[in-house]
Amino acid sequence: MPVNELLPRETIHLCIDMQQLFGPGAPWATPWMERVLPTVTEIVAAQPERTVFTRFIPPERPEEMPGMWQSYYRRWHNVTRQEMNSKWLDLMEPLTKFTPPARVIDKTRYSAFAGTQLHAFLQEYGISCLLVTGSETDVCVLSSVLSAVDIGYRVVLVTDAICSSSDDGHEALLKVYHHRYSLQIETASAEEVLDQWRTATRRTFGTV
Protein backbone atom coordinates (compact mmCIF):
# COMPACT_ATOMS: atom_id res chain seq x y z
CA MET A 1 0.00 0.00 0.00
CA PRO A 2 1.21 3.56 -0.58
CA VAL A 3 2.66 5.36 2.40
CA ASN A 4 0.12 7.60 4.11
CA GLU A 5 2.02 10.79 3.34
CA LEU A 6 5.33 11.91 1.87
CA LEU A 7 8.48 10.90 3.67
CA PRO A 8 9.58 13.97 5.61
CA ARG A 9 13.05 15.46 5.60
CA GLU A 10 13.39 14.04 9.12
CA THR A 11 13.60 10.43 7.85
CA ILE A 12 16.40 7.90 8.12
CA HIS A 13 16.72 4.40 6.73
CA LEU A 14 17.15 1.90 9.58
CA CYS A 15 18.59 -1.31 8.13
CA ILE A 16 18.49 -4.08 10.72
CA ASP A 17 21.06 -6.89 10.98
CA MET A 18 21.86 -7.50 7.31
CA GLN A 19 24.92 -9.47 8.37
CA GLN A 20 26.80 -12.55 7.29
CA LEU A 21 25.64 -14.12 10.57
CA PHE A 22 22.25 -14.46 8.88
CA GLY A 23 23.62 -15.17 5.42
CA PRO A 24 24.29 -18.40 3.52
CA GLY A 25 26.26 -21.01 5.43
CA ALA A 26 25.96 -19.31 8.83
CA PRO A 27 24.18 -20.98 11.78
CA TRP A 28 21.36 -18.47 11.70
CA ALA A 29 21.02 -18.40 7.91
CA THR A 30 17.92 -16.58 6.72
CA PRO A 31 16.99 -18.09 3.33
CA TRP A 32 15.32 -14.95 2.00
CA MET A 33 18.23 -12.64 2.82
CA GLU A 34 19.88 -13.04 -0.57
CA ARG A 35 16.50 -12.45 -2.22
CA VAL A 36 15.91 -9.10 -0.51
CA LEU A 37 19.56 -7.98 -0.53
CA PRO A 38 19.37 -6.26 -3.97
CA THR A 39 16.31 -4.28 -2.83
CA VAL A 40 17.92 -3.31 0.46
CA THR A 41 21.07 -2.28 -1.42
CA GLU A 42 19.04 -0.10 -3.78
CA ILE A 43 17.45 1.72 -0.84
CA VAL A 44 20.83 2.19 0.86
CA ALA A 45 22.46 3.41 -2.36
CA ALA A 46 19.78 6.07 -2.83
CA GLN A 47 20.78 7.81 0.42
CA PRO A 48 23.73 6.10 2.15
CA GLU A 49 24.39 9.14 4.32
CA ARG A 50 20.90 8.75 5.76
CA THR A 51 21.27 5.04 6.53
CA VAL A 52 21.93 3.46 9.92
CA PHE A 53 22.89 -0.22 9.91
CA THR A 54 22.56 -2.33 13.05
CA ARG A 55 24.61 -5.41 13.77
CA PHE A 56 23.58 -8.13 16.21
CA ILE A 57 26.62 -8.93 18.38
CA PRO A 58 26.50 -12.14 20.45
CA PRO A 59 28.46 -12.29 23.72
CA GLU A 60 31.94 -13.72 24.07
CA ARG A 61 30.40 -16.44 26.28
CA PRO A 62 26.89 -17.14 27.63
CA GLU A 63 27.71 -16.02 31.17
CA GLU A 64 28.13 -12.42 29.98
CA MET A 65 24.39 -12.15 29.37
CA PRO A 66 21.60 -11.88 31.96
CA GLY A 67 18.87 -14.37 32.80
CA MET A 68 17.39 -16.49 30.03
CA TRP A 69 19.89 -15.18 27.51
CA GLN A 70 22.41 -17.50 29.16
CA SER A 71 20.27 -20.54 28.35
CA TYR A 72 19.76 -19.19 24.85
CA TYR A 73 23.48 -18.93 24.18
CA ARG A 74 24.24 -22.28 25.77
CA ARG A 75 21.93 -23.69 23.10
CA TRP A 76 23.60 -21.50 20.45
CA HIS A 77 27.13 -21.70 21.83
CA ASN A 78 28.50 -21.92 18.27
CA VAL A 79 27.54 -18.27 17.69
CA THR A 80 29.21 -16.93 20.83
CA ARG A 81 32.24 -14.88 19.91
CA GLN A 82 34.62 -17.37 21.50
CA GLU A 83 33.54 -20.00 18.96
CA MET A 84 32.18 -18.17 15.92
CA ASN A 85 33.98 -16.95 12.83
CA SER A 86 34.34 -13.20 13.38
CA LYS A 87 33.51 -12.46 9.74
CA TRP A 88 29.90 -13.43 10.50
CA LEU A 89 29.55 -10.12 12.33
CA ASP A 90 30.26 -8.18 9.12
CA LEU A 91 27.54 -6.67 6.98
CA MET A 92 26.59 -8.56 3.85
CA GLU A 93 28.29 -7.57 0.65
CA PRO A 94 27.80 -5.15 -1.04
CA LEU A 95 26.50 -3.15 1.94
CA THR A 96 29.95 -2.72 3.46
CA LYS A 97 30.96 -0.28 0.73
CA PHE A 98 28.41 2.23 2.04
CA THR A 99 30.10 2.60 5.46
CA PRO A 100 30.92 5.41 5.69
CA PRO A 101 28.89 7.54 5.11
CA ALA A 102 26.29 5.10 6.48
CA ARG A 103 26.54 4.54 10.23
CA VAL A 104 26.77 1.23 12.08
CA ILE A 105 25.32 0.65 15.55
CA ASP A 106 26.05 -2.60 17.37
CA LYS A 107 23.43 -4.18 19.62
CA THR A 108 23.24 -7.20 21.91
CA ARG A 109 19.45 -7.54 22.07
CA TYR A 110 16.73 -7.95 19.47
CA SER A 111 15.67 -4.29 19.50
CA ALA A 112 17.85 -1.69 17.82
CA PHE A 113 16.97 0.62 20.71
CA ALA A 114 17.89 -1.70 23.61
CA GLY A 115 21.14 -0.59 25.22
CA THR A 116 22.30 1.43 22.20
CA GLN A 117 22.79 5.09 21.29
CA LEU A 118 20.25 4.93 18.47
CA HIS A 119 17.44 6.93 20.07
CA ALA A 120 19.83 9.63 21.32
CA PHE A 121 21.35 9.92 17.85
CA LEU A 122 17.96 10.19 16.17
CA GLN A 123 16.83 12.81 18.67
CA GLU A 124 19.99 14.83 18.20
CA TYR A 125 19.19 15.21 14.52
CA GLY A 126 15.45 15.64 14.90
CA ILE A 127 14.50 12.36 13.22
CA SER A 128 10.79 11.58 13.35
CA CYS A 129 10.39 8.87 10.69
CA LEU A 130 12.09 5.51 10.16
CA LEU A 131 12.20 3.65 6.85
CA VAL A 132 12.81 0.08 8.04
CA THR A 133 14.41 -2.86 6.22
CA GLY A 134 16.36 -5.92 7.32
CA SER A 135 16.28 -9.19 9.22
CA GLU A 136 14.32 -10.87 10.72
CA THR A 137 10.70 -9.88 10.14
CA ASP A 138 9.47 -11.71 13.24
CA VAL A 139 12.42 -11.19 15.60
CA CYS A 140 14.78 -8.18 15.45
CA VAL A 141 12.64 -6.20 12.99
CA LEU A 142 9.57 -6.86 15.14
CA SER A 143 11.30 -5.84 18.38
CA SER A 144 12.85 -2.73 16.83
CA VAL A 145 9.64 -1.60 15.18
CA LEU A 146 7.60 -1.98 18.37
CA SER A 147 10.26 -0.06 20.30
CA ALA A 148 10.05 2.71 17.73
CA VAL A 149 6.26 2.76 18.01
CA ASP A 150 6.49 3.00 21.80
CA ILE A 151 8.84 5.97 21.51
CA GLY A 152 6.57 7.66 19.00
CA TYR A 153 8.42 7.43 15.69
CA ARG A 154 6.58 7.18 12.44
CA VAL A 155 7.49 3.77 10.98
CA VAL A 156 7.40 2.83 7.30
CA LEU A 157 8.16 -0.87 6.86
CA VAL A 158 9.40 -1.88 3.40
CA THR A 159 7.69 -5.25 2.96
CA ASP A 160 9.90 -6.59 0.15
CA ALA A 161 13.10 -5.52 1.93
CA ILE A 162 12.62 -7.57 5.11
CA CYS A 163 13.17 -11.29 5.54
CA SER A 164 12.92 -14.18 7.98
CA SER A 165 14.07 -17.76 8.41
CA SER A 166 10.39 -18.67 8.88
CA ASP A 167 7.98 -18.19 6.00
CA ASP A 168 5.04 -18.65 8.34
CA GLY A 169 6.41 -16.11 10.82
CA HIS A 170 7.12 -13.62 8.04
CA GLU A 171 3.65 -13.85 6.54
CA ALA A 172 1.92 -13.74 9.92
CA LEU A 173 3.83 -10.64 10.99
CA LEU A 174 3.12 -8.82 7.74
CA LYS A 175 -0.58 -9.25 8.51
CA VAL A 176 -0.06 -8.05 12.08
CA TYR A 177 1.96 -5.02 10.95
CA HIS A 178 -0.58 -4.10 8.28
CA HIS A 179 -3.81 -4.70 10.18
CA ARG A 180 -3.19 -4.67 13.91
CA TYR A 181 -0.81 -1.67 13.92
CA SER A 182 -2.07 0.12 10.83
CA LEU A 183 -2.30 3.51 12.59
CA GLN A 184 1.33 3.36 13.74
CA ILE A 185 3.11 1.13 11.22
CA GLU A 186 2.81 1.82 7.51
CA THR A 187 3.64 -0.98 5.08
CA ALA A 188 4.80 -0.29 1.55
CA SER A 189 6.85 -1.89 -1.22
CA ALA A 190 10.26 -0.61 -2.21
CA GLU A 191 8.79 0.60 -5.50
CA GLU A 192 6.32 2.75 -3.59
CA VAL A 193 8.97 4.44 -1.45
CA LEU A 194 12.07 4.56 -3.66
CA ASP A 195 11.09 7.53 -5.83
CA GLN A 196 10.39 9.57 -2.72
CA TRP A 197 13.55 8.38 -1.03
CA ARG A 198 15.78 9.15 -4.01
CA THR A 199 14.47 12.70 -4.29
CA ALA A 200 14.13 13.47 -0.58
CA THR A 201 16.14 16.45 0.61
CA ARG A 202 19.58 15.25 1.55
CA ARG A 203 20.90 15.79 5.04
CA THR A 204 24.30 15.40 6.62
CA PHE A 205 24.54 13.77 10.03
CA GLY A 206 27.30 13.54 12.57
CA THR A 207 28.78 10.32 13.87
CA VAL A 208 26.86 7.83 15.98
Q: What is the pLDDT of residues 99-157, one digit of tens each?
A: 999 999 999 999 999 999 999 999 999 999 999 999 998 899 999 999 999 999 999 99
| Any domain includes 190 | yes
Give the sign of the dihedral formed by CA 59, CA 138, CA 119, CA 43: positive
Q: Assess if residue 179 is contained within a domain.
A: yes
- Identify whether 43 is part of a domain: yes
Contact present, 162 and 135 (Cβ < 8 Å): yes
Q: What is the pLDDT of residue 8?
A: 87
Q: What is the model's pLDDT at position 93? A: 92
- Express each pLDDT in 5-34 by its tens digit: 788 889 999 999 999 999 988 989 988 899
* Within a domain: 82: no
Q: Answer yes or no: is 168 within a domain.
A: yes
CATH number at residue 98: 3.40.50.850
Q: Cβ of 182: how many Cβ atoms within 10 Å? A: 13
> What mean pLDDT, rounded, does the chain reach?
90
pLDDT in tens, 145-167: 999 999 999 999 999 999 988 88
- The total number of structural domains that make up the chain: 1
What stretch of H or E contains 151? helix 140-151
Asked if residue 140 belongs to a domain, the reply is yes
Q: Which pLDDT score, from 0 to 100, does residue 31 have? A: 85
> What residues make up the domain containing 183?
11-58+89-199
Is residue 149 domain-resident? yes
Kindly give, in sequence order, each residue whose CB lies less than 8 Å from that of residue 182, ignoring residues fewer than 6 positions away.
none
pLDDT at 111: 97
- In a domain? residue 66: no
